[in-house]
Amino acid sequence: MIQLKVNGVEQSFGGEPEMPLLWYLRDVLGLTGSKFGCGVGLCGACTVHVNGQAMRSCVTAMRDAAGKEVTTIEGLDKNGLHPVQRAWMEINVPQCGYCQVGQIMQAAALLNSKKKPADHEIDEAMSGNICRCGTYQRIRAAIKAAAGEMT
């Protein structure tokens, strides 16, 4: 039995330990904010926090989540008003929106570790998150706005 905490709630999983964390979150717990994109950890649409670090849930096996704390977009802020989420809305970052949950989760992890990131640090941290619509300039602006609010 795999024990973990998801969005602050203790959970147990008795299924296949190799099952991707993404499937557990979406199909078992019904937390559908994290998206399936590439399935190999390259696009970032499935990004969640595991013990505070941004992780690709499509390539994280349930066995690797054992004993850890997982935060999804649904648990980032109970009202959906984390500073990164507010900045995303104020700057109108999303276009199609598919990648934005992963972008937000990656940005929140960045700002938890680096309070005032420079442009090159933002670009480096966000480089594994693909936006097919090309909203990268708005993403960077929103991260800077959120950083200003968080300090």
C-alpha distance from residue 112 to each of 42, 63, 138 (Å) = 22, 26, 20
pLDDT at 123 (0 to 100): 95
Percentage of residues in the chain having pLDDT higher than 90: 89
pLDDT category, 78, cuts 50, 70, 90?
Answer: confident
Specify the amino acid at residue 23.
W
3-state helix/strand/coil string of 110-126: HHHHCCCCCHHHHHHHH
pLDDT at 73 over 90: yes
Q: What is the DSSP letter of 96?
A: S
Q: What is the CATH number of domain 83-150?
A: 1.10.150.120
Per-residue pLDDT tens for 82-102? 999 999 999 999 988 899 999
**Res. 151: pLDDT tops 80:** no
pTM for the model stands at 0.94
Enumerate the domain spans of the chain.
Answer: 2-76, 83-150
Q: Which CATH class is domain 2-76?
A: alpha beta
Q: What is the pLDDT of residue 38?
A: 92
pLDDT at 148 > cutoff 90: no
Alpha-helical runs (H) found in 16-135: 21-23, 62-65, 73-76, 83-91, 100-113, 119-126
Q: In the predicted model, what is the mean pLDDT of residues 48-69?
A: 97
Name the phi and psi angles at 3, rounded to 5: -110, 135
- Report how far residue 146's alpha carbon sits from residue 47's, in angstroms, rounded to the nearest whole number: 19
